[in-house]
A and B are shown apart, each in its own frame.
Chain A
Amino acid sequence: QQQVKQSPQSLIVQKGGISIINCAYENTAFDYFPWYQQFPGKGPALLIAIRPDVSEKKEGRFTISFNKSAKQFSLHIMDSQPGDSATYFCAASTQGGSEKLVFGKGMKLTVNP
């Protein structure tokens, strides 16, 4: 069974628009929720991460929103740019590693100029 479910699978937005990627998890033990960004031919790179003690974390144009009761978290990309075109993975694990890091299946974002 998939422990982290990511949606949508792909997304096309116009430059300047808002991109939203959603993830849902099953294991209530998870307490670390990172997002990774991957460009073609490259390895994933950590974009932003959140822990459940806060409901939102913002870094520049990227914001994670976290809803513990719904077991959901999302990535919002404000003022999307063509350079944001990449595949985005959500993931979850526990601090200390008692639960291994599991990734969603990824979402391919295309930002049109």
Chain B
Amino acid sequence: DAGITQSPRHKVTETGTPVTLRCHQTENHRYMYWYRQDPGHGLRLIHYSYGVKDTDKGEVSDGYSVSRSKTEDFLLTLESATSSQTSVYFCAISSLGPYEKLFFGSGTQLSVL
């Protein structure tokens, strides 16, 4: 998957606990993104990054924060997990320009009980 590793691949957690998902790339791409995929909603952007320490919110950013301290790592944190955050989370990277030719990771299935 174009040098993108998401971890963990699966996680079950309880409501109210913090959760951090990691995206690691070996492509040295500038742009990184976090999307969530839910039935009937397609893919929705949570946060994105234009470079190290340069991040911004997407359309469904409430309850999520991100950090990018190195080019290769983009972390997504659910500050206090809720059942509505049960979803499949995808990390993506691109180099040509923002939102052009995205390469997606294999996803993290998160269940919040």
A98 nearest CB neighbor, chain B only: B98
Q: Say whether chain B's binding surface is mostly helix, strand, loop, or mixed.
A: loop
Q: How far is the CB of A55 from chain B (nearest CB, A)?
A: 20
User: Given A44-B90, A95-B97, does the pair A106, B42 have CB atoms closer than 8 Å?
Assistant: yes
Binds A, one of B14-22, B72-80, B99-107: B99-107
Q: Which of A27-55 contact B (CB under 8 A)?
A: 32, 34, 36, 41-46, 49
| Interface residue tally for chain A (C-beta within 8 Å) | 24
> CB within 8 A of A96: which of B43, B98, B101?
B98
In contact, B98 and A97 (Cβ under 8 angstroms): yes
* Residues on A with beta carbons closer than 8 Å to the beta carbon of B41: 105
CB within 8 Å: A-B pair count: 58
- The CA-CA distance from A96 to B92 in the complex, in Å, is 17
* Residues on B with beta carbons closer than 8 Å to the beta carbon of A58: none
Q: How far is the CB of B4 from chain A (nearest CB, A)?
A: 8
> CB within 8 A of A43: which of B1, B40, B45, B99?
B1
Q: Which has the most chain B C-beta neighbours within 10 Å: A41, A43, A46, A102? A: A43
* Residues on A with beta carbons closer than 8 Å to the beta carbon of B48: 100
- The CA-CA distance from A49 to B99 in the complex, in Å, is 12
A107 nearest CB neighbor, chain B only: B42
Q: What residues of chain A have their CB less than 8 Å away from a CB belonging to chain B?
A: 6, 32, 34, 36, 41-46, 49, 89, 91, 93, 95-97, 100-106
Q: What residues of chain B have their CB less than 8 Å away from a CB belonging to chain A?
A: 1, 40-45, 48, 58-59, 90, 92, 97-107
Q: Can you spell out 26 A-B residue pairs with CB atoms less than 8 angstroms apart?
A: A32-B99, A34-B101, A36-B102, A41-B106, A41-B107, A42-B107, A43-B1, A43-B92, A43-B104, A43-B106, A43-B107, A44-B104, A45-B103, A46-B101, A89-B42, A91-B43, A93-B99, A97-B98, A100-B45, A100-B48, A100-B59, A101-B102, A103-B43, A103-B44, A105-B40, A106-B42
